[in-house]
Amino acid sequence: MGYANPQQTAAGIHTRLFSRAFIVDDGRRRVVFVSVDVGMISQRLRLEVLNALRAKYGDLYRRDNVALSGTHTHSGPGGYFQYTLFMISSKGYLESSIRPLVKGIVKSIDVAHGSLRPGRIYKNRGRLGASGVNRSPHSYRNNPRQERDRYDRDVDQDMLLLKFTDADGDGIGALSWFAVHAVSMKTSNRLVSADNMGYAAYLMENHKDPSALPGQAAFVAAFSSSNLGDVSPNVRGPRCVNSGLACDYLNSSCPEGGTKECQAFGPGEDMFDSTRIIGLNIFRKARELYADATEEVTGSVQSAHQWVDMTDVVVRLDDAREVATCKPALGHSFAAGTTDGGGDLNFTQGAVEGDPFWDGIRDALLGPPSNQTRECHRPKPILFSTGEMKWPLPWHPEIIDVQILTLGSVAVVAVPGEITTMAGRRLREAVRRELGSEGAFSDADVTIAGLSNVYTHYITTYEEYQVQRYEGASTIYGPHTLGAYVQKFAGLARAIAQDRVGSLPPGPEPPFFQKNLFDLLGAAKADRKPDNGTFGEVLRQVLPVYRQGDVASVTFVAGNPRHSGDVRDRSFVAVEMRDDASDAWTLVHTDASWETRFLWLKDRNRRSNATVEWHIPIDAAVGAYRIRHFGHFKSMKGLRPVITPYQGTSDVFRVTAGFYRR
């Protein structure tokens, strides 16, 4: 989920995805913030999690005090949305996707709930450069010059970090926010990956608890998304891959090949290396901020939440005029994609006029936008009038969440989408101003948690919207979307400052669809194996000896990984080291480790191979190792499917500091 490419189906694991939960209780109130390694939090996912929490904890964890935020990796699962547009692009509503997500998020909250104890929170803030660039500078420069002159960059480089300790001062966790897209892994990637933010978390947790396997450290480090809407980690910028020349500045396209050939590149040799570099940058800054965090966060915790119908919010402008938001719609430039992942068709960014060819196809298949919607969204030329498309279910959400959590002087604004750099700055200022209006929050440190609670695509400034690049075309509630959010979040901040959160109306409750959800993926078919072969059999063996820094690789006869079901507590991969004295084997890496890659390949005859790569660290201990693969295969007994576990083991091989002669 993220690149909206139905052909981008999973074919293995780069790193695992985790949910990391933080609970803060001041003795009177409690708040929960969860950072989840997914593209974004969908409305259905949030509602399912809240239902599960209610069944387990009653009214302890509720819509107002639980915030869920996605890291925005584009290499996580789809299929956990209840609106038609998202179901179409990710093969429907998939129980096999949403159930593990719900269970994993709830489990992370369970773990945090069970480990509540007295402690302290410290905060620190610093700047991190060379890790993000503005991918729509033309839009950014359409903001007022006077406003732009207040900032030295067209991206936010600030990282805010909270350091959690127990009563003895021992570190137990870190929670940070930084604005960069998790798209170091490209559109060509087919491995599940937590991307750059996930790698930063991996490094931080390993730094604090080096003996623990991924996901099992006592120290929890979350790297959450922020106002990343126009911020790319591909810091070398875009170029035409077929010519090496610069892309067109205004519409990010190439003379031959259009937007598809205009691609931005990260700092590394390939996407894995770029992920490593950006993640390492983020980790190093977080480690520095954590070590120097001495300003204690004190005071109370509070939360405020409302549901809002975003299709008709009246927005009061500075000149006293009143305007309104619109029914959802996507513009032509939405189909162009971005320099981080361009579209396949002949759409370009910056389109302020429609295309008769594509408009004609749309009108024939889906019907034209109403005049009211056209007028409301100007200058956006509407490609899909999703707010007027209801079959088989609404194509976009209308009821959305606005929410603020405060931890002492720290305010977390849970934004339901991808808000751009300048839009995020305006929103933070408005919230800070309202929080300080009564004096209690005069020094509020306001941060944005992006991709939270429900997904509504992008949120640009009014001025950026006029340019209609991808971000503006994907601002689905029209040109005054940001104004509506500023107004609504400012209302929450004012209620917190005046201690009248209890009087806030909850707003219209969002739908929880039971009918017309569809699954386009279907069940995986029975597995086949080579004649006279067995599942788990080694097809290509490891070498006898590898040096530190080499890649050990082994290929097995495999089953479809989908037949292993919910694998949250299992691994497809084990790298084990032998203790020569006792002949016992110790688990060194799993498929959650950065150092391993699990690659699955299926041929036309439903026969699968699984290749396990171990990218041997430079500092790996010298000794004897083996690689194991675990899985399940499906066979049919008449009309009844039978799922059977299997495993395979490589030959023993040695890792040395250098080759040696026998």
Label the pairing between strands 158-166 and 133-134.
Answer: unpaired
Q: Say whether 650 is catalytic.
A: no
Label the pairing between strands 314-316 and 322-324.
Answer: antiparallel
Label the pairing between strands 12-13 and 596-602.
Answer: antiparallel
Residues paired with 440 in a beta bridge:
none
Q: What is the CA radius of gyration of the chain?
A: 25
Give the single-character DSSP code of 475.
B
Q: Tell me how far apart the alpha carbons of residues 437 and 106 are, in angstroms, rounded to a whole number.
A: 36
For the chain, the farthest-separated pair of C-alpha atoms sits apart, in whole angstroms, at 86
Both tokens assigned to 591? 């498929």
Q: Tell me how far apart the alpha carbons of residues 190 and 416 are, in angstroms, rounded to a whole number.
A: 27
Label the pairing between strands 133-134 and 231-232.
Answer: antiparallel
Three-state SS letters, 244-268? CCCCCCCCCCECCCEHHHEEEECCC
Both tokens assigned to 476? 């689905």
Does the N-terminal peptide bond of residue 379 adopt cis geometry, omega within 30 degrees of 0?
yes
Q: Tell me how far apart the alpha carbons of residues 251 and 421 are, in angstroms, rounded to a whole number.
A: 20
Nearest to 182 by CA among 136, 132, 220, 135: 132
Active-site residue (options: 75, 131, 193, 232)? 232
Q: How many helices (H) and strands (E) does the chain have?
A: 13, 35
Three-state SS letters, 258-306? EHHHEEEECCCCCHHHHHHHHHHHHHHHHHHHHHCCCEECCCCEEEEEE
Q: Where are the beta strands (DSSP E) in 397-444?
A: 399-407, 410-414, 418-419
Does the N-terminal peptide bond of residue 392 adopt cis geometry, omega within 30 degrees of 0?
yes
Active site residues: 232
